[in-house]
A = this chain, B = another copy of it.
Amino acid sequence: MRMKTIRKEEGPIAGRPVTNQRSLLLDIIRQANRHLDADELYRLAKKREPRISLATVYRNLKLFKELGLIAERKLGDTHSHYEIRGAADHHHLVCLGCGQVIEFESPFIAKATDKIKRENDFDVTSIQLKMEGYCSKCKKKMK
Contacts and interface: CB of A to CB of B under 8 A. Distances in A.
A113 B131 contact: yes
Interface in A106-143: 106, 108-109, 111-113, 115-116, 120-136, 139, 142
Q: What DSSP secondary structure best describes chain A's contact surface?
A: mixed
Report the copy number of this chain in the oligomer.
2
A132 B15 contact: no
Interface in A80-102: 93, 95-96, 102
Given A77-B62, A121-B135, A104 B116 contact: yes
Contacts of A112: 106, 108-109, 112
A39 interface: no
Nearest to A127: B131
B122 A136 contact: yes
A66 interface: yes
A123 to B, nearest CB: 5
Contacts of A125: 96, 132-134
